[in-house]
Amino acid sequence: MPLAKNRLREFRNKAGLSQEKLADKVSVTRQTIISIENGKYTPSLELALKFAKQFKCKVEDLFGI
């Protein structure tokens, strides 16, 4: 089930990070970032927490149903 609220691209752009840089920081592939941003892949809880830590926000700020 795709997430209704996915603000990963918005947070990534605000931080001035490329998809590749963000992927490196959270230890995934660039393709994973692309899939999440396009709503084709729902990140695991562990990955969602890594994103939240990276952007210093709550998981709920990035993702929601």
* 3-state SS, residue 26: helix
In a domain, 62, yes or no: no
DSSP label of 44: P
- As a whole number of angstroms, the longest Cα–Cα distance in the chain is 29
Question: Domains in the chain: how many in total?
Answer: 1
32: CATH:
1.10.260.40
Residue 65 lies in a domain: no
Q: What global pTM score does this model have?
A: 0.91
Full residue range of the structural domain in which residue 31 is found: 5-57
Q: Give the model confidence (pLDDT) of 2-56 as tens digits.
A: 667 899 999 999 999 999 999 999 999 999 999 999 999 999 999 999 999 999 9
Hunting for tokens 């830590």 — which residue is that?
Answer: 53
Q: What pLDDT was estimated at residue 1?
A: 61
Report the pLDDT value the prediction gives residue 2, as an integer from 0 to 100.
63
Is residue 63 one of the residues assigned to a domain?
no
DSSP three-state, residue 25: helix
Crossing angle of helices 19-26 and 45-55, in 10° steps, is: 110
